[in-house]
Amino acid sequence: MSREENAERLSKVMREIFDVDDLEYRDSLKADDVEGWDSLSHVHFLIAVEKEFGFRFTSGEIDGFKNVGEVLDVIVRRATR
């Protein structure tokens, strides 16, 4: 699956979790840019991503994310579905 396709699936998860219908994906998107994205929904978001793409982030990956592009990098590398 291409990076673009995964990005679309990822935005679908984000729209659902942050409850923003018109959210558009871009690599540089980060928590400050999305109203519903706080420390609580962040954890929820990561777990929803794991469920959607069928893998588990390591603690190190979780600590390291600076923007959505970095989440997508890990997805592209590790997704099993």
Partner 1 sequence: MSNPFGMPWLLPTPVNFKARAKALASTASPDEAEARRLAAFALDLSQLDTLGKVVRKQREFFVAEAGFAPIKLGIVASHTMDYLAAALPGTGLRHSLVVDVVLAGYGQAAQQLLDSGSDFATQGLDCVLLTFDYRALGLSSIRLKKDEADEAVSAAINHVSSMAAGVRDIIKSTCILQTLAPPSDPVFGGLDARTQGSPRAMIERFNARLLQEVARENDLVVDVAFLASKVGLDSWNDARGWHKAKLPASLESTPLYADHICRLLAAARGKVRKCLVLDLDNTLWGGVIGDDGLDGIALGQNSAVGEAHVALQRFLLDLRRRGVILAVCSKNEEATARIPFRDHPEMVLKEDHIAVFIANWSDKANNLREIAATLNIGTDSLVFLDDNPVEREQVRQVLPEVAVPELTEDPADYISLLANAGYFEAIGLSEEDLVRADFYQANAERISLQKVGNLEEYLRSLQMVATISAFSAVGRVRIAQLINKSNQFNLTTRRYSESEVEAFENDPLKLCLQVRLADHFGDNGMISVIIFDKAPDEWSCDTWLMSCRVLGRRVEELVLATVAEAARSAGATRLKGTYIPTKKNGLVVEHFARLGFTKAGDLRDGGTTWVLDLADYVTPELPMQIIHANDSGSMSDAA
Return the range that interacts with partner 1 (CB under 8 A); candidates 1-9, 25-33, 55-63, 64-72. Answer: 55-63
Nearer to partner 1, 28 or 39 (CB): 39
Of the residues 5, 8, 19, 35, which one makes contact with partner 1 according to CB under 8 A: 19
Sorted by sequence, the CB contacts under 8 Å of residue 80 that are 6+ apart come out as 53, 54, 55
The C-alpha atoms of residue 39 and residue 71 are separated, in whole angstroms, by 16
48 binds partner 1, rule: CB under 8 A: yes
Give the interface with partner 1 as residue ranges (CB under 8 A). 16-17, 19, 39-40, 43-44, 47-48, 59, 62-63
